[in-house]
Structures are given as structure tokens and as C-alpha cells.
Chains A and B, each alone.
Chain A
Amino acid sequence: MGAEGTPFFGWPAADRRYLMTAGQSKQAFFRRTAWLLAVVSVGTIATPAWAAQGRLLATGGASQVEGAGGGGLVPWATLSGYGTREQEGGAVFATRVDTGDYALDVQGAAFTFGNRLELSVARQRLDLGQLRRQLSLPWQSLGQDVFGAKLRLAGDLVYTRPPQVSIGVQYKRLRDGALPLALGARDDSGVDAYVSASKLFLRGPGGYQWLLNGTVRSTRANQLGLLGFGGDHKAARSLVLEGSAAVLLAPSFAIGVEYRQKPDNLAFAREDDWRDAFVAWFPNKHVSVVAAWAELGSIASLDHQRGAYLSLQTAF
């Protein structure tokens, strides 16, 4: 390390600065590190006996930013973890997206009953970074909690001819709605409802397995809900489309892209659709890593928000 500084959990100082967004306290960094360590250890040490993990590798997917089983940005029809209909399963995860101006941190967990019903919680924290400095805001971050439920209606991702289809809801509640309400949002809580269809094509183009997912969502959430629900520009619900496509180059390795349409409810700032390109690695059924590049467009008046996305998940 030398001039770069002292080693810290094996990260050189330069990486540490990257992980510690400007304005974020050392405390928050330690909290996040502790959470990541917990995420890894839960899956590797404490897989309970009733979680026999009978589903095939990678069919539990990752955890999306709102805590549901899915890709990175989009919920899929698959349910978290590896339980079959006679087993329970679930996942714990931590995700970070850093655009330079903003940083989004999410931690969450999901539990799946008999590959039928998934219940999830997620805590999101958006570090306002550059916006706070530009506007001298008294808030350092925006945060919300998301409580999700997803029910598999029919089908199996791998084995049935029609796709696996699930419906889900996400109840979102801002921890402090003062800033979003001041910026024109109507409410500080809201409910998203969605239907997802996912299918794995065992013999897809190029001889590889392909996963396709489509999701339709009804929502009033501004920037996931972090900027409140409904707005002075549009108060009503919007129907948005979300999609994912991935190719499994090996059973443990996938690359893919996602697209997520967004409503545009606030007058003070435009909201853009989101997209990302990802690589996902499933070394085993306990641990998975998703790295992505996310293009998030304009967020709260700051344009061209793009950056790295990293998600670590442990499943049982």
C-alpha cells in the first residue's frame, strides 16, 4: 500500500474513499461493513436444516433494490432463495449504487414460504451528496423502508411451457418526508403493485440458457419513493413497464440488461427511465454477487446520473 495509506480490511485507501461517499460518516461506513460481513456469514455458516435448497442454482435470482427477488432494478416472478414447494427459503442482501453525486445504499431480507409466497423488507438510504452541497440542504440523506409481498400465481421458471407468473405489492414509507413534500410530492408513503412473468429458455440463442422477464407496475413513487409519492405535475398512478434479459454463459454466471420505466410526477425535476447492464456470479447456492453499470438519468435536477452497482446476497 505504501503511500496509498494503511491497509483496511484489505482495501487500499483509494477504494476506501470510493466506498465512503463524501459527507458520509465513518460510522455509516462501519455500519455498512458490518452488514456486509453479516450477509456473508449468515449464508455460509448458518443455513438451517429446513432450508434444503432444492431449486437449481441461480433460479432464486438476486435481490432487487426494493428487496424483492429479481434482477437489480426489476422484480422477477421468481421468489427469493432456493426452497421448492416443500421447503422454505430466503435471502439477505446489501446493495450499493454510486453515481458520484449520489449514493444509494440498500439492505434487506426476504423469506419465501414453499416457493409460493415471498415476504421482504428493505431499507434504502440515498446520500444526497452533491445536491446537499449545492442547495445547502439541512438533510444529508433521504431514507425509506419497503415492505413487500409477492405471490407466485402459476408456472415454473424452468419446467413449465408458460412462464412463471407472480403478483406483488410494495408498501413504501419515507422515514422523513419533509424534503420530498417541500419539493412537491403529495404523500410520504405509497403502495406499488406489479405483475411479473419470467421464463428460462433452456435452449436459447447461441446454445445458451436465456432468462426473460417482463413486469408491469402501477406506482405513484418518485425515484423509487425516495422523493415521495405523486406530485404537483401528476398526482395519479402510472402504469410502467420493466424488463430484463440475461444469458447464462454457465450455470453460475450470467450477463444481462434491464430496463425500468419510471413515472414523472414532480414539476421541479424531470425523472428518467432507468437501465443497467449486469454480470451475476453464483459460486454456490449460498452466496451471489451482482456487479452492474446503472444509467439513472436525471435525479432531483442533477442530470446524467450513472455509476457502478454492486450487490451481495446470501441465500438459504
Chain B
Amino acid sequence: MRPVTALLLPLAALLLSACATVPQRPLYDDLGGEAGVNALVELLLVRISDDARIAQQFATVDIVHLNDKLVEQICHVADGPCGYTGKSMAEAHAQLAISHADFNALVEDLMWAMDQRGVTRSAQNRLLARLAPMRPDIVVP
């Protein structure tokens, strides 16, 4: 078998296996439920405070409030049993000059935190896919 064919086969197998859809657990459960999301957000905020690229942006933020709103929002976005009671993303970031690089730095910190928490690749990608469309409301236009 030629090497090109040899590599095509696993790709095709991946596609096929994905098409044979099994009912998926709610993302919230894959993130570890309430305890998992709490721990994830805490880890994320610690990571951000150590991230020289963006720590400054959070210097004047009420971290306890931010922690609560982030937990609520991730729970909500991940189909958990929460409503989001915070400001809209556009409102919350209107006064901040967040660049594309700042936004990506936070995404990298979130990916690091999810790795640390042992969140599966598939669950990580599901959460990223749900958060990604918020970027236009968060970064400076």
C-alpha cells in the first residue's frame, strides 16, 4: 500500500466514525460538572495573573466577581443548569482595549487550564467552538 493511501485511510476512518453519531453527553458533564468548572475557572484566573502578556488588563478587576461570572457563563455555554446574569460581552469589554493578541493569550491560558484539568480533546474543542464566536464583542474593532 502506498504511503499516501496509508495516511488517507485513518483520515477517512475518522470522518466515518464521526458520521456515525452517538448521542453526546452534555459538555457541562465532560468539564466535570459544577466542581470541574469551578476548578477550571480558578486555575484559569491563576494562570492569567501569572501571564505577563495580559495580567495588567485584570489588575483593577474585582476577581471574586469575575470568578463568579466566568463560572456562570461557562456553565451556561456548556448547557449546564445555570443562567448567565452578567453583562453582555460587548458591555463588559466596552471600556477595555483588548487586542487580538490579548484575546489569543487568554485562549491559550484556557487551553492550558483545560489540559491541566484533564479535559478531553473533544470537550476542549467543543467549549472553544462555543466561546470563539464571542470574539467580535470582546476585542477592539
Residues of A within 8 A of B (CB): 52, 54-57, 84-87, 115, 158-159, 161, 202-209, 245, 247, 249-251, 255-257, 275-278, 293, 295, 306
Contact = CB atoms under 8 A, between A and B. Distances in A.
B93 interface: no
Given A55-B104, A86-B99, A247-B11, A159 B4 contact: no
A203 B3 contact: no
A206 B99 CA distance: 32
Given A204-B125, A257-B8, 9 more contacts: A54-B105, A55-B101, A205-B14, A206-B15, A206-B122, A207-B120, A207-B123, A208-B122, A208-B125
B1 to A, nearest CB: 12
Contact of A205 (B2, B18, B101, B121): B18
Q: Is the interface of B mostly helix, strand, loop or mixed?
A: helix
Nearest to A86: B99
Given A52-B101, A56-B108, A277 B132 contact: no
B4 A54 contact: no
Contacts, number: 92
A256 B133 CA distance: 26
Find the residue from A54, A55, A245, A293 having the highest chain B CB count within 10 A.
Answer: A54
15 contacts: A52-B101, A54-B101, A54-B102, A54-B105, A84-B104, A87-B101, A202-B132, A203-B125, A203-B128, A206-B15, A207-B122, A207-B123, A208-B125, A277-B7, A278-B7
A255 B122 contact: no
B43 interface: no
A208 B121 contact: yes
B114 to A, nearest CB: 11
Nearest to A87: B101
B14 A208 contact: yes
A40 to B, nearest CB: 23
